[in-house]
Structure 1
Amino acid sequence: MNIDVISISLVLLQQMCVYLVVAYLLSRTPLFIPLTHVTIRLPQKAACYVIFSLFCMMGTILGMPVIHAIANTPAIGAVLGGLLGGPAVGLAVGVTGGLHRYSLGGSFALAAALGIVAQGILGGLVHRHLIRRGKIKTLLDPVKAGLLTFIGVIIELIIDLLVAKPFWDTLHTVSLIAVPELIANSVGAAMFMVILLDRRELIERQSSVFSAKALKIAARADGVLRTGFNQENSMRVARIIYEETGVGAVAITDRERILAFIGIGDDHHVPGRPIISVQTKQAIANNQVLYADGNEEAYQCSIDPHCPLGSSLVIPLAGEDNSVIGAIKLYEPKTKLFSTINRALGEGIAKLLSSQILAGRYEQQKVLLAQSEIKLLHAQVNPHFLFNALNTISAVTCDDPEKARDLIGHLSTFFRKNLKRASEQASLADEIEHVSAYLQIELARFSDQLSVEIDIPDELRSVCLPAFSLQPVVENAIKHGTSQLLRPGLIRISARSDGHDLVLDVEDNAGLYERGPSGSGLGMNLVDRRIKNRYGNTYGVSVAHGRDVFTRVTIRVPLEVIPA
């Protein structure tokens, strides 16, 4: 009897090894990924059911006939299916495996089928118990899996004794297969779980490496291409990618030529040359990732037939409206294969660089727009203001030459301040000086029909705001306000702090403001939009008015001081 038990044990252990080899090979495929975590969602449960049902049936097929029974290992699939998938999956796997075993016939067919169903239910109940107690991590414990499968086999053997007939023959058969099945199934389940844990650790390790590389590249390359998608910046980015990924070579192109190349083959892959690679042209034209490994997809350097590079990955760089603006290319030499990490990383890098290029172009467009708006304000102010100023100076030249000289000085200051607006940022003191020069001309023009009050605390004079923000508002108050009055006009300009904000008020005593685009004036609209674009919608220009009494225009910006 001992010899028979040992023989059966050795056969089952051999079959278990075949079983585990198949499991190991499958674990290297995407099929096993859903099993590396406790399954919760329906697609994962479906994958769990299919895989463990197949292993359950395979355990029966690989079994060894013993008298009227089969010494086998389907308990591994049934128990683990329930343990990882839950009660529903465990029951489904058990029923599938049980029906398969029943179809093979024999006096143990029904008993064995019921035993497999019971094992699936056992795994599912333990799954539910551990989930409810918050011990989800212990579901992947190899020792727990082995112990649970040991119990599952005992349950199966008890069912054999209760169901299979005649009893004494059943007892004899069970005595032969009990120890081999207990050992093979328990060890097999534990080893199966070790394979799953190994696969999960490999995935997590690869993910960690991927994340670390991606973050490092993102940190080093941050902002480089924002200043322009050109040869100099592309070379800097290509070197960063080359150093961090360890690939054979890195190239960056626009749609027409090579902007950067670092690595093997840099003697003939020269920046500035036009693109002649078929793969690169196709990737740019069709906006698709192309991988030429030199085996399934032919790769040959289009410049030098003796080039040591043997494979390439071409990823398009996307611009506005998903249009292709260039490509990034990763190469490996003929002696090395592309790693999966670098292939996936390449696509992530392309998205990062595309975002940087788009952000850079957006910022450049914002700068150009702001400069255009300032020029528009200058164009709006200068012609008619210059005409009025010259007429005023001409009128006072004969009667008061000294005053005429002062007005020429103020006019010079006004236009000099206009010419110094390229930075888009000015201190409040600078803005007040600009406005004061403007107001001196207007005071001379309207003589005693206009007066001005300016109240600016000294501590607020260093606060910054978008350049050319105050003058258009003051001009609007005169042009559409006090200049229309028959009585003397008054302009008050004041500043105060409100929490973390600077608040500027420009008030006139005309009260002629009319709501709507035509009432607020082009200058005020541009000032409001520039402030909102820079600081957000909580800032900008607002207007309060009382008909024929006052109009108060309020400018609100963050309380930021210009660095010394």
Structure 2
Amino acid sequence: MPDSPLLTAAAIAVIVLAVAVVVGVGLKVIRSFRDLGTDAERATYNTLHAASRAGQHLRGGLQAAGAAKASRQLRALLGSEALAMTDTNEVLAWDGAAEELRPRLMGLASGVLASGRTIVVPGDRNGGYSAVIAPIRAGSRVVGSVAAFAPAAGAGLVRATSEVADWVGVQLELSELEASRTLLMEAEVRALRAQISPHFIYNSLNAIASFINTDPARARELVVEFADFTRYSFRRHGDFTTVAEELRCIDRYLLLERARFGERVQVSLRIAPEVLSTVIPFLSLQPLVENAVRHGLEAKEGPGHITICANDSGAFAQVTIEDDGVGMDPEHLRSVLAGHTDGDHVGLRNVDARLRQVYGDEHGLVIETAPGEGTLITMRVPKSQPGHDA
């Protein structure tokens, strides 16, 4: 039975549409390929991409797991049949062919580790594979080696292997720098914890003692709050907390201070619920409130007022702590934040430095003050902080 003209037309239309789709997809692929640029630009992109991926695996230092993943990327860069990485004691990773040579590598690399110089081992000593072994240096120390294996070791492979080893060394130096920054932050937190020492503890215990005979129930309540406050302040885990946890710490701190100052310390809170879960550096708000009490209100005659606000500001959480105390000279404040004044406003300087280290200089404390005009401190932190766990 012959096809009807309508069916024939429909079939032709479907075929035309299919061809158009194929052509469109093909043009898009070609256009995308052209967008990568010339062969040299594509080669540069591939090199940088591989180096970037390898660098991610070396952020934890020269460890077996990271070295194994990085070696795959680095072997692709060198185009060698095999690539190995060692520390000063053992082979950490081997990627590619000729793994039967692995037990011999530390013997071959011993001269490199001792002298810090690249060597070439001819193929007749390695089952047909020539080896280029280059030292990995972190600063002035040789901490390991990179070995590339190929049928022949030309000048290009020798130079490229040495450059890769130098690049690995730079990554390790960066990881050590990051570790040093982490240790510095931990040391600063410990210093800040040490600051919560004689002055506050002595006064708190005196305030608690004053209630033992006159109001035992209040004394027991203050002992519990004091224990909770010190437990939080001296906790051993984590460099970060949340706004909610820090506010709870501040509440306990102020309860103890009000036991000493009575109605002289008045506090207002305006907290947006959506910022309570925002991650912030541990002990970054409480020292600012303590600064307001000790340096703002304690020297003021009569009652003083502290206002604590936490607001949602787009991609940031903004916290302000304002007091109507005695204030301070702006020039003196700049000297304090620059670390030129020892033993004065330690908490303020510590918090400002840690915020800058974690988030960048643009996230340091913003402080507005003048003698007799009180102090307003503003802190802005990103609400999204991948890698920072409270």
Partner of 1:404: 219
Q: Name the amino acid aligned to 2:146.
A: I
Distance in 2, matches of 1:458 and 1:262, equals: 52
TM-score under structure 2 length normalisation: 0.75
Is 1:540 the counterpart of 2:358? The answer is no
Larger radius of gyration: 1
Q: Does 2:337 align with 1:513?
A: no
CA RMSD of aligned residues (A): 3.3
SS in 1 for 2:86: strand
Distance 2:118 2:368 in 1: 58
Post-superposition offset of 1:468: 1.0
Report the CA distance between 1:465 and its aligned residue.
2.0
The aligned amino acid for 2:60 is: T
Q: C-alpha displacement at 1:417, in angstroms?
A: 2.2
Question: In structure 1, what is the Cα distance between the partners aligned to 2:227 and 2:144?
Answer: 49
Partner Cα separation in structure 2 for residue 391 and residue 420 of structure 1: 24
1:78-136 CA-to-partner distances (Å, cap 9, x unmatched) read xxxxxxxxxxxxxxxxxxxxxxxxxxxxxxxxxxxxxxxxxxxxxxxxxxxxxxxxxxx
Once the two structures are aligned, what percentage of the paired residues are identical?
Answer: 27
Paired positions, count: 342
**CA contact 1:213–1:245 (8 Å) conserved in 2:** no
Distance 1:407 1:251 in 2: 62
Paired residues for 1:236-385 under 5 Å? 236-238=69-71, 241=74, 247-262=80-95, 266-267=99-100, 269-270=102-103, 275-277=106-108, 280-284=109-113, 287-293=116-122, 300=125, 307-308=126-127, 310-320=129-139, 323-332=141-150, 336-338=151-153, 342-343=157-158, 345-385=160-200
2:347 corresponds to which residue? 523
Q: Which amino acid aligns with 2:85?
A: I
| Residues 63-212 of structure 1 mapped to structure 2, 5 A cutoff | 211=44
Query: Can you list the C-alpha shifts for 1:305-356, whole angstroms capped at 9, x where unaligned?
Result: xx52542112222323x65332201123xxx223676545434432442232
AA partner of residue 439 (structure 1)? L
- Higher strand fraction (1 or 2): 2
1:229 aligns with 2:62: yes
* Counterpart Cα distance in 2 of 1:481 and 1:212: 56
C-alpha distance in 2, partners of 1:462/1:248? 51
Encode CA deviations 1:226-269: one digit per residue, 9 max, x unaligned: 11212343344335545775644433223454434456664563
The 8 Å contact of residues 296 and 326 in structure 2, kept in 1 or not, is answered as yes
1:292–1:311 contact (8 Å) kept in structure 2: yes
Once the two structures are superposed, residues 479-498 of structure 1 have per-residue CA deviations (whole angstroms, 9 ceiling, x without a partner) of 12211223122222122344
Structure with the larger RCO, 1 or 2 (CA within 8 Å, 6+ apart): 2
> For structure 1, which runs of at least 5 residues remain unmatched after alignment?
1-203, 301-306
Partner of 2:6: none
Post-superposition Cα deviations, 1:512-550, rounded to whole Å, max 9, x if no partner, equal 424222496111111111111121221111221232231
Q: Per the alignment, do residues 235 and 503 of structure 1 end up closer, same or farther by CA in structure 2, a change over 3 Å counting? A: closer
CA contact (8 A) 1:315 1:350 kept: yes
| From 304, 307, 310, the counterpart of 1:495 | 310
CA separation in 2, counterparts of 1:326 and 1:209?
31
After superposition, give the CA deviation of every residue in 1:263-284 in whole Å (9 maximum; x if it has no partner): 666456349x9x443xx45544
Corresponding residue number in structure 2 for 1:197: none
**What TM-score do the two structures reach when normalised by structure 1?**
0.54
Counterpart contact for 1:314–1:330, Cα < 8 Å: yes
Q: Once the 2 structures are TM-superposed, how far is the Cα of residue 379 of structure 1 from its aligned partner? A: 0.8
Task: Report the secondary structure of 1:487's partner residue.
Answer: coil
